[in-house]
């Protein structure tokens, strides 16, 4: 089995702040990690895959890092439109597991 644990579960920040969300895997998954953004009432959107590869069309203020069991999503300068819930997803050895989500507020 594969468990993904995100922290914090929620955060509040100001426009322009640098925001960091952590995701921990229960075992080594290399760089098999994706990040998604889900705005209220909308479908999720892929932001990052392969732990650090920015999906086409995603603003450059979003970045991902990490490998093994520890991963981070960073928003360099938080914008009002970034209000959303963010999910990490590990995909390794037959498992596809999401973290519980981090709700970001302004």
Closest CA to 69 of 33, 32, 24, 34: 24
- Residues of this chain, 66-95, that bind other proteins according to CB under 8 A: 87, 89, 91-92, 94
Beta bridge partners of 86: 37, 102
Closest CA to 88 of 58, 47, 55: 47
Interface stretch with other proteins, choices 10-18, 20-28, 36-44, 72-80 (CB under 8 A): 36-44
Residue 36 within binding range of other proteins, rule CB under 8 A? yes
Residue 45 within binding range of other proteins, rule CB under 8 A? yes
Number of residues that bind other proteins (CB under 8 A): 22
């Amino acid at each position: 089995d594969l468990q993904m644990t995100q922290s914090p579960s929620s955060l509040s920040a100001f426009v322009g702040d640098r925001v960091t969300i952590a995701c921990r895997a229960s075992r080594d998954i290399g760089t098999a990690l994706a990040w998604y953004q889900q705005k209220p009432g909308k479908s999720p959107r892929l932001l990052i895959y392969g732990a650090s590869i920015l999906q086409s069309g995603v603003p450059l203020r979003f970045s991902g890092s990490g490998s093994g069991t520890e991963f981070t999503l960073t928003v360099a300068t938080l914008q009002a439109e970034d209000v959303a819930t963010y999910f990490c997803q590990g995909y390794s050895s037959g498992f596809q597991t999401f973290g519980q989500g981090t709700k970001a507020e302004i």
